[in-house]
Chains A and B, each alone.
Chain A
Amino acid sequence: MTRSTTWALAASAAAFALTLSACGGSAAAPGTDTTAGGDAAPSGPIRIGIKYDQPGLGLQEGTNFTGFDVEVATYVAGELGYPEDQIEFIQAPSPQRETMLEGDQVDLIFATYSITDTRKERISFAGPYFIAGQDLLVRADDTSITGPETLTGKRLCSVAGSTPAENVKKEHPDVELIEYDTYSLCVSALDSGAVDALTTDNVILAGYAAQPQWEGKFRVVGNPFSTERYGVGVPKGETERCEAVNAALEKMIEDGAWQTALDETVGRSGFEPDDRNPPSVDEDCA
């Protein structure tokens, strides 16, 4: 092997390594520089799983995170003794949430995480901190759609493999369901007229409707037809921490911080939660 090919090989290997580390960097970086000032907190930062791509709930904007889930997570972490600089946010995509808790990659998950019995077999839930319901998002000038029973002959969009999509498939098989891999694509298709409605939890729909580029273009129908209780994911068996989270959530609802957080995030689209909110924090941490 000549000298120049050796160098070329080394260079390409280095480039490859750089690419790899760039991919992993977003999740790992924030935690590494907190060791110096960590004497106040109980051993290192708290790792919280959130959504990075859910406007109004959990959204990464540059190095900041915004949304209702983020606000609740920050408040709860504060009550557990972790100030803001001791929180490490980690992306928790829906299909990986249980696995991340089981594998000790995160301590808590606040990510529009519906409490279900199947999930409770693998993890524990604190909460609920919000009661959402499946609803429809339509173009602002469309008055023909008032609920799922008016969808016959219409085109409905949702995310492939999501609970709302499966509910529609089961209960309204005559509706043409288009399934993309993100809701933002559905919103774009709704805007261009290719689909007539978009379905998922009302609070998530409100988050999209509140985005600056869509302001005034869409409205949430306001006729929720399911109950999704958003809880905090806790690794199974950590009852003490789970109960502390419950206490923090109760305090947050009581002292008004919950309402403020809601108004400043998804509330900006004009969305008002139904009367099931604020919920009573009644999960037993089993």
Chain B
Amino acid sequence: MERLMQMLSDYNVLAAFWTTIQLTVYGAIGALVLGTIVAVMRVSPVAVFSRAAALWTNVILYTPLTLIAFFFAFGVLIKMNIRLLPEPPATLLDQHFAMGVVAIAVYHSSLVAEALRSGINTVPLGQAEAARALGLGFGQSLREVILPQAFRGAIAPLGSTLIALCKNTTVVATISVTEAAALMKSMIEFYSDLIVPIFVIMVTGFVILTLPLGMFFTWWSKRAAVLR
């Protein structure tokens, strides 16, 4: 017990989970924006757009996140020396954090795009035809008729994607972002006798983050579902 308190005073578990939360929030916003663009391109009548979106989705979806994170940290940041944040005040560690967010956003954009596409497919064809009959163009009918219904139908899969994203943030521990998984590695190195408590702390942390998310999205998807 004494060693456990010692460990908790040596390592700031809350700060590490705060980094996890930041990665989740920024990554999710990026993934949602990027994924929506890709989904819209995917269903657009312009062949170039829909093929480019299909290629993006399929390439990203079948590439491991580890590899994408590695590409952004080493390919883009270290080798090509592209910095996303103004330096100073940003440090090299901040640049790694930014690349971690980009990697998470890019990877999950493919999942968001697929979730949205499934949402779009739940909207009956008649809705699009009615919109067209009213004289709405592609953009207008998408914005006013299709997407609002598609998002409501896609809430459940988007929720699962967000939970997966939260857990996947652990991958960026490999590119110098000190979030929960990186902290766990440090704690195991110096307190290997406390490996079970460390495991319990980490599992509890992630359950606290993801379980309410899951419950909220289940509730929301039922509430928002378009009854047909």
Which residues of A are interface residues toward B (Cβ below 8 A)? 94-95, 98-99, 118-119, 121-122, 155, 160-163, 165-166, 176-181, 185, 188-189, 192, 194-195
Cβ of B145 within 8 Å of any chain A Cβ, yes or no, is: no
What are 30 A-B interface contacts by the 8 Å CB criterion?
A95-B188, A95-B192, A118-B190, A118-B191, A121-B193, A155-B92, A160-B173, A160-B176, A160-B182, A161-B186, A161-B187, A161-B188, A161-B189, A163-B190, A165-B186, A166-B186, A166-B189, A176-B92, A177-B93, A178-B176, A179-B176, A179-B182, A180-B174, A180-B175, A181-B173, A181-B174, A189-B78, A192-B79, A194-B81, A195-B92
| B144 shortest CB reach to chain A, Å | 42
Tell me whether chain B's interface is mostly helix, strand or loop, or mixed: helix
B61: which A residues are within 8 A, CB to CB? none
Cβ of B143 within 8 Å of any chain A Cβ, yes or no, is: no
A161: which B residues are within 8 A, CB to CB? 182, 184-189
Asked whether A176 lies within 8 Å of B174 as measured between CB atoms, the reply is no
How many B residues face the partner with a CB closer than 8 A?
Answer: 26
B174 nearest in chain A by CB position: A181
What is the CA–CA distance of A195 and B92 in the complex, to the nearest angstrom?
A: 9
Q: Known contacts being A176-B93, A178-B93, is A95 close to B189, with CB within 8 Å?
A: yes
Cβ of B110 within 8 Å of any chain A Cβ, yes or no, is: no
Asked whether B78 lies within 8 Å of A188 as measured between CB atoms, the reply is yes
Cβ of B56 within 8 Å of any chain A Cβ, yes or no, is: no
A195: which B residues are within 8 A, CB to CB? 92
Q: Which one, A163, A179, A188, contacts B74 given CB within 8 A? A: A188
B194 nearest in chain A by CB position: A118
- Sorted from nearest, which 4 A-B pairs have the closest CB atoms? A161-B185, A181-B174, A161-B186, A194-B78
Most central of A94, A95, A161 by chain B CB within 10 Å:
A161
Cβ of B58 within 8 Å of any chain A Cβ, yes or no, is: no
Q: Which one, B74, B175, B184, B193, contacts A118 given CB within 8 A? A: B193
Q: Which one, A94, A122, A177, contacts B193 given CB within 8 A? A: A122
Q: Which of B72-113 touch A at CB < 8 Å?
A: 74, 77-79, 81, 91-93, 96
Most central of B77, B186, B195 by chain A CB within 10 Å:
B186
Known contacts A166-B186, A176-B92, A189-B74, then 11 further A-B pairs from the complex at CB < 8 Å, ordered by chain A residue: A95-B185, A95-B189, A98-B192, A99-B195, A121-B193, A161-B184, A166-B190, A176-B91, A178-B93, A180-B175, A195-B92
What is the CA–CA distance of A285 and B195 in the complex, to the nearest angstrom?
A: 24
A165: which B residues are within 8 A, CB to CB? 186
What is the CA–CA distance of A178 and B188 in the complex, to the nearest angstrom?
A: 19
Asked whether B192 lies within 8 Å of A122 as measured between CB atoms, the reply is yes
Q: Known contacts being A178-B96, A179-B178, is A160 close to B185, with CB within 8 Å?
A: yes
B78: which A residues are within 8 A, CB to CB? 188-189, 192, 194
B187: which A residues are within 8 A, CB to CB? 161
Q: Which of B147-174 touch A at CB < 8 Å?
A: 173-174
B186 nearest in chain A by CB position: A161
